[in-house]
Chain A
Amino acid sequence: MSRIRNDYENSLWCRLVRWVNGETNPFAGKMEMEPLRETEVVGDSVFNPDRLDKEKVEQYVEDMGRNKEMKAFRILYNLASVSLCLLLIAVLLLAVSWMPVLGDPNGPNNNEVSRRYVEQGMEESGAVNMVTNMILSYRGFDTFGETCVLFIAATCVIVLLRKNEEEIENARETDWKYEPKPDAILQKITLILVPVIFLYGAYIILNGHLSPGGGFSGGAMMGAGLILYVTTFGFHKTQRFFNEKTYDAVKVGALSLYSITMIYYFYTGANEIQNRIPLGTPGDILSSGMILPINIFVGLEVACTMYAFFALFRRGGM
């Protein structure tokens, strides 16, 4: 049977808990407490005596010569952070030293799986670029999950940074603060650069199965081009061709088409039903079956997400 102590608040454990939680007031019993004083307005300047008192107290607390406890804690914190960093570095280096040697023929990375990818990947999927082939067909499930993660992240940012209608009205009035100043040099160079960036992004997306790149990198490039256009010309001009409705339509459309394609892919792959999409000759643009449309959908999704992140962080709407 445990008995209830009367002086629980003075017990060692309770004091330790309060000290850990930071609930103890360091000024209790040491300083005289006074109620808040009225602020005085002298001419244009506002005189607040409490703020002066606060600054005085902060100066007193920060004075290292008198506050021995704080000095000791500063040293302790620095030592603890340095030792924690060193410990982490040691653990990571130890983990790396246990890894198998690069290029070891008996290593776990040189098994029959990678050999099959390299030897029969082009016949089975029709893609010349082995990396895109692996990401979008052999490991398509992982990439599908990643795209869903991006979609959920963008949705969370929209939910967190969304503004209600009153705030949007206010934002429309103070929009000029966020709008860039019309800069002739920047605008001319952007007019030359943005089409090139878009063209290169589209090139990377469409050639994902032939050359390095693919949906994610090309989409990020197109998103960066959109961001460049917005920072130069402002949201008003961008909204003429890319507003929230376009964003919703493109994003949801791309993700659902992507899911439908992936479901068809999984179903025909797992149940030994013949895949009716022709693979084409490896090396052509219109080849490799599913990989080209999946690349396009991923690219649209990523471009929209990048632009949405920027627009939401910048002013909380598109």
Chain B
Amino acid sequence: MEAFKTILLIFLIICAISASLMKNPLLSVIVFMSYSLVMSIIWFLLESPDLAITEAAVGAGVSSILFFVTLRKLKALSEGGQNEQDKK
């Protein structure tokens, strides 16, 4: 169990750093989503299932949807896609 916890914590740190360093905002939001999921598993292992449910519903679900809608309103997603296509 200790090894599993360590792996989860290392994954959490990797997610946190890479979410802020990603160039593409879409990928950044998805990495942030996986950060929330790992965080909810850690809450469950820390014996607080109430927080785990809330983290999974709000952190991974609703807040990322709001991020997606905002990025689409700012036209950051489509421009990012075009830039990637230009590079290819």
Chain A interfacial positions (CB closer than 8 Å to B): 129, 131-132, 204, 212-214, 216-217, 220-221, 223-224, 227, 306, 309-310, 313-314
- What's the nearest-Cβ distance from chain A to residue B71, in Å? 11
With A220-B58, A220-B61 as known contacts, state yes or no: A309 contacts B66, CB within 8 Å: yes
Establish whether residues B73 and A212, one from each chain, have CB atoms under 8 Å apart when the complex forms: no
Q: Which of B50, B61, B69 contacts A213 (CB 8 A)?
A: B50
Q: Which residues of A contact B18 (CB under 8 A)?
A: none
Q: Which residues of B contact A221 (CB under 8 A)?
A: 57, 61
Among B48, B49, B57, the most chain A Cβ lie within 10 Å of the Cβ of B57
Establish whether residues A213 and B66, one from each chain, have CB atoms under 8 Å apart when the complex forms: no
Q: Can you list 9 contacts pairing A with B, beta carbon distance less than 8 Å? A: A212-B52, A213-B49, A216-B54, A217-B53, A217-B54, A221-B61, A224-B62, A224-B65, A310-B66
Establish whether residues B62 and A306, one from each chain, have CB atoms under 8 Å apart when the complex forms: yes
Beta-carbon nearest neighbor of B60 in chain A: A224
Interface string of B3-31 (1 = CB under 8 A from A): 00000000000000000000000000000
Establish whether residues A213 and B53, one from each chain, have CB atoms under 8 Å apart when the complex forms: yes
- What's the nearest-Cβ distance from chain A to residue B57, in Å? 4
Q: B70 at interface (Cβ–Cβ under 8 A)? A: yes
- What's the nearest-Cβ distance from chain B to residue A300, in Å? 15
Establish whether residues B66 and A212, one from each chain, have CB atoms under 8 Å apart when the complex forms: no
Using A212-B49, A227-B65, A310-B62 as known contacts, list a sample of 6 further A-B pairs with CB atoms less than 8 Å apart, ordered by residue number in A. A131-B48, A212-B52, A212-B53, A213-B53, A224-B65, A310-B65
Beta-carbon nearest neighbor of B55 in chain A: A217
With A220-B61, A220-B62, A224-B65 as known contacts, state yes or no: A313 contacts B70, CB within 8 Å: yes
Establish whether residues A310 and B61, one from each chain, have CB atoms under 8 Å apart when the complex forms: no
Among B48, B52, B58, the most chain A Cβ lie within 10 Å of the Cβ of B58
- What's the nearest-Cβ distance from chain B to residue A219, in Å? 9
Q: Which residues of B contact A213 (CB under 8 A)?
A: 49-50, 53
Beta-carbon nearest neighbor of A216 in chain B: B54
Beta-carbon nearest neighbor of A305 in chain B: B62
Interface string of B38-66 (1 = CB under 8 A from A): 00000000001110111001100110011
Q: Which residues of B contact A310 (CB under 8 A)?
A: 62, 65-66, 69
Docked CA distance A314–B72 (Å): 9
Establish whether residues B61 and A313, one from each chain, have CB atoms under 8 Å apart when the complex forms: no
Establish whether residues B65 and A204, one from each chain, have CB atoms under 8 Å apart when the complex forms: no
User: Closest 5 interchain pairs by CB?
Assistant: A212-B49, A220-B57, A217-B54, A217-B53, A224-B61
- What's the nearest-Cβ distance from chain A to residue B27, in Å? 20
Docked CA distance A224–B61 (Å): 7
Establish whether residues B62 and A313, one from each chain, have CB atoms under 8 Å apart when the complex forms: no
Docked CA distance A217–B56 (Å): 9
Docked CA distance A205–B35 (Å): 26
